[in-house]
Structure 1
Amino acid sequence: MMKKTLEKLSPIIFNIFNHLHENPEISWKEVNTTHYIAEFLKSNGYKVRTFPEHTGVVGELGNGSFTIGVRTDMDSLWQEVNGTYQANHSCGHDAHMTMVLGMLLLLKEMQVELQGRLKLIFQPAEEVGNGALKMIEKRVIDDIDFLYGVHLRPIQELSMGTASPGIIHGAAETVSGRIIGFDAHGARPDLGVNAIEVVSAIVEQLKGIRMNPFDSFSVKMTQVSAGGENKNVIPGSAQFHLDLRAQKNETMDVLVQKVEHILQHIASLFEVQIEFEHKEKVYAAVVDPEAQKIIAKAISETIGDENVKPPVVTPGAEDFHFYTKERPHLKAAMLGLGCDLAPGLHHPNMTFNREALLDGIEILTRTVLATFEQNT
């Protein structure tokens, strides 16, 4: 019955996807997307909450104390596509929103009477790593018992027709730094410190970080700028950014300490001032076993037990995991959906099999219904 109902709804669902895909908006500027979703929720009987200070929208339906949340991200990336910089949904957030709205339509068409409250959270600014923190600040999740999310997976992890009941994202953090000094004449290098040489020393020292080989981690310089128009001036100042990754939160803590030690050591060695700050911190995943088990059963009922794959372990990061870090009471898990996504997430020309949207909608719907049934 569920598949037949989905087939009936599929033209509407793909129209929703096409609209979202063709109208991407970058982090904290998802104004039209917020309006579109808010109106959609209202027209389908949901109580709607928006935020005067920022984008994002929450829809709520049902009554009772037991509450299930389903969260989706909204923002696109800003990247070069075929020679032009533009907003671009190359991370699948258009698909994630479509699946949550599709679940809404499926529940409505099936005339399901919810055995509690359902909150649909359309979160802004996942790509810059602080949208979840804003939802937490607004106390959106304080009354939620189970929280679910969904993310398309690249073909290297999951193929079309398969899915995983958990995504083990790693921790990520950005360190932004400044080398503060004075320029010198190219003929008088002894009168200043070459910021480019300082940057080179930082890079070399980062390569030498040693940690437990069983704990996945990486650190690399991703941006650097130094010098001006004149080629005969030795730059005394520079700006740089470091990207830190670790599969475990504990590993990230140690990595951060080592990076800070290197920056302080290099500053002392070159007798130069290095200022730095930590930005865009995202925690590693903590997947709840009960929530994972419910998703696994929903996958099995949708596409067969043989297509339930183990939790996906990925060095990629997701601000979804701020929710469990800041609100440990939450039982949370994220569905990983196979869809033959290629060449990869964040590739400007990313594509996937859109028929997978229907599988994702059914899995999410079965997950929500099973969670209500299990906890009444």
Structure 2
Amino acid sequence: MRKIIYAMKGELWEIFDYLHRHPEVSWEEWKTTRFIEQQLIQEGYRTQTFSDCPGVIGEIGSGTFTVGLRSDMDALWQEVDGVWRANHACGHDAHMTMVLGVAKLFNRIGYQPPGTLRLLFQPAEEKGTGALKFLEKGVADDMDFLYGVHLRPIQEVKSGYAAPAILHGAAQCIEGEIKGVAAHAARPHLGVNVIEVGSAIVQELGKIHVDPQVPASIKMTRFRAGGKNVNIIPDYAEFALDLRAQTNEVMEQLVEGLNDIVKGVAAIYHADIRLRSGVRVAAAKPHPQARSFMERAIAAVLGREKCLPPIVTSGGEDFHFYSWMKPQLKTTMLGLGCDLTPGLHHPQMTFRREDLLSGIEILARAVMETFEHFALQGEMGSARFAAKN
């Protein structure tokens, strides 16, 4: 398998270079969709695209037991060398290259899964909404396992190492507005100063207490109030809050605490405070069995000593919506070391390209290991899987 992957290296680098040179931001990945679809058709995969959103599904095999492999597609919009443009600074070009590499590898070795292999090329991960759109499309309704992959910064995982799971935290953006009463600055008692109301909210946020063993934070990240005149008590403000928690349960506690604070502050100041939820990303809950298959694949490719424990990170990933919305779906995400520097989302992010070849082999082996295990167990023909159809 390794020799075949290395023989494909030139073709894989051409794919990566194309994707890197043609980045597209969230919900605009139409050219990327067409390029990936052509690559999949070329390898004999059945494909599905959608009229109302970018993204493509590729399949081979048949049967009720279904294993999925997911890649994100979108680039960031950021300033690069003084110019604002789309830029692949989160490794999604590498993720697409690896999943396409698995597709091409299976075709080269003539691998026919004893079930259905489904490749998901998903839009808008950076917006936190792409996975939800794919779930709405029903692409995960009949899947049993789903694997993902993400390059890791050198501070977490070095080149030649990998982790069988990435423990992303939950993230939530909440925006709000405060309506008070305007007044002359010389008569503050006649008004409701929205800046004072906002300050009270900030002070009360520190009184939300959750399990100290679970990393969590809630903080105000934006506040706008007042105009050009400084002698007016402002009566309107807009603000934003960023919430982070390592578990979905603690995230719920943060949101509940915030709602209580807003009600209390509004009552004390006689202000109208309204919240609206923005993008939310679920925390990771990797399945032990999926993680076990990924561990075996890493050990087979890199050696057991190069298989690290799951990586705990405060970042978010909408991949984890799949298992959150579909609890029966067994998922995990490969954390691939590649000496990525200076860091994810840095406009000059770079990494060791050769490690993508190891990533392809790890993902391929994890998929094959999953199919082979259940084929040997005879579970593919069981009533549990037959009931899906």
Q: Is TM-score (shorter-chain normalized) higher than 0.5? A: yes
Write out per-residue CA displacement over residues 56-77 of structure 1, whole angstroms, 9 at most, x where no aligned residue: 1111111222211001111112
User: What whole-Å deviation, never above 9, does each CA across 1:327-365 have from its counterpart, x for those lacking one?
Assistant: 111111111111111222222222211111111111001
The AA in structure 1 aligned to 2:84 is Y
1:164 aligned partner, one-letter code:
A
Q: Distance in 2 between matches of 1:42 and 1:374?
A: 28
Q: 1:265: how far off?
A: 1.6
Aligned mates of 2:229, 2:130 — CA distance in 1: 41
Alignment-mate amino acid for residue 219 of structure 2: K
Match of 1:62 in 2: 61
Residue 243 of structure 1 aligns with which residue? 242
Partner of 2:163: 164
Number of residue pairs aligned between Structure 1 and Structure 2:
375
Report the secondary structure of 2:367's partner residue.
helix
Matched, 1:307 2:306: yes
Shift of 1:42: 1.5
Judging changes above 3 Å, is the alpha-carbon distance between structure 1 residues 204 and 51 closer, same or farther for their aligned structure 2 residues?
same
Kindly state the Cα deviation for residue 228 of structure 1 after the two structures are TM-superposed: 3.2
Q: Which residue of 1 aligns with 2:201?
A: 202
Deviations along 1:23-66, one digit per CA (max 9) or x if unpaired, are 11111111111111112112221111111111111111112222
Q: How far apart, in 2, do the equivalents of 1:228 and 1:83 lie?
A: 31
Look up the equivalent residue of 1:99 and give its one-letter code: M
* Residue 333 (str. 1) matches residue 344 (str. 2): no
Gaps of 5+ in 1: none
- Deviations along 1:55-103, one digit per CA (max 9) or x if unpaired, are 1111111122221100111111222333332222111111111110011
Moved more, 102-111 or 161-170: 102-111
Give the conservation status (yes or no) of the 8 Å contact 2:177–2:274: yes
Q: Distance in 2 between matches of 1:229 and 1:25?
A: 39
Corresponding residue number in structure 2 for 1:85: 84
Confirm whether residue 120 of structure 1 aligns to residue 111 of structure 2: no
Superposed displacement of residue 229, structure 1: 3.9
- 2:109 corresponds to: 110
Match of 1:265 in 2: 264
Residue-by-residue CA offset, 1:303-337 (whole Å, 9 max, x unaligned): 11110000111111111111111111111111111
Give the equivalent residue in structure 2 for 1:318: 317
Q: CA deviation at 1:182?
A: 4.5
Structure 1 residue 13, shift from structure 2 partner: 0.8
Write the letter of the residue equivalent to 1:140. Answer: V
What is the distance in 2 between the residues matched to 1:345 and 1:326? 27
Equivalent AA in structure 2 for residue 171 of structure 1? A
Query: Which structure 2 residues correspond to residues 7-156 of structure 1 after superposition, within 5 A?
Result: 7-156=6-155
Distance 1:223 1:307 in 2: 42
Q: Partner of 2:291 in structure 1?
A: 292
Corresponding residue number in structure 2 for 1:221: 220
Structure 2 residues not aligned, in runs of 5+: 376-389
Q: Which residue of 1 aligns with 2:341?
A: 342
Distance 1:363 1:305 in 2: 13
| SS class of match (2:141) | coil
| 3-state DSSP of counterpart to 1:242 | strand
- Does structure 1 retain, via aligned residues, the 8 Å contact 2:178–2:236? yes
- Matched to 1:46, the amino acid is Y
Give 1:118 deviation, angstroms. 0.8
Paired with 1:19 and 1:224, the residues of 2 have a C-alpha distance of 41
Q: Which residue of the partner structure matches residue 381 of structure 2?
A: none
Is this contact kept in 1: 2:60–2:112, CA < 8 A?
no
Give % identity.
53
Distance 1:83 1:184 in 2: 44
Amino acid at match of 1:354: R
What is the CA-CA distance between 1:147 and the residue it aligns to? 0.6
SS of structure 2 residue aligned to 1:209? coil
Aligned pairs (5 A) from 1:356-375:
356-375=355-374
1:173 aligns to 2:172 (yes or no): yes
One-letter amino acid of the structure 2 residue matched with residue 222 of structure 1: T
Distance 2:11 2:229 in 1: 58
Larger deviation, residues 84-93 vs 63-72 = 84-93
- Please report the TM-score for the alignment, with normalisation by the length of structure 1: 0.95
> Which whole-Å CA distance do the structure 1 matches of 2:199 and 2:74 have between them?
35
Tell me the CA shift for residue 185 of structure 1. Answer: 4.1
Moved more, 40-49 or 206-215: 206-215
Mapped to 1, the partners of 2:56 and 2:98 lie a distance apart of 16
Q: 1:153-195: per-residue Cα shift (whole Å, max 9, x none)? A: 1111111110001111111111110112344444443443332
Q: Which amino acid aligns with 2:251?
A: M
Letter in 2 for 1:342: T
User: Which has the higher mean CA deviation after the structures are superposed, 107-116 or 8-17?
Assistant: 107-116
Q: Aligned letter for 1:85?
A: W
Aligned-partner Cα distance in 1 for 2:80–2:226: 29
When normalised by structure 2's length, the TM-score is 0.92
- Give SS of 1:238's match: strand
The aligned amino acid for 2:320 is: H
- Cα 1:63–1:209 change in 2 (3 A) is same
Helix, strand or coil at the partner of 2:243 = strand
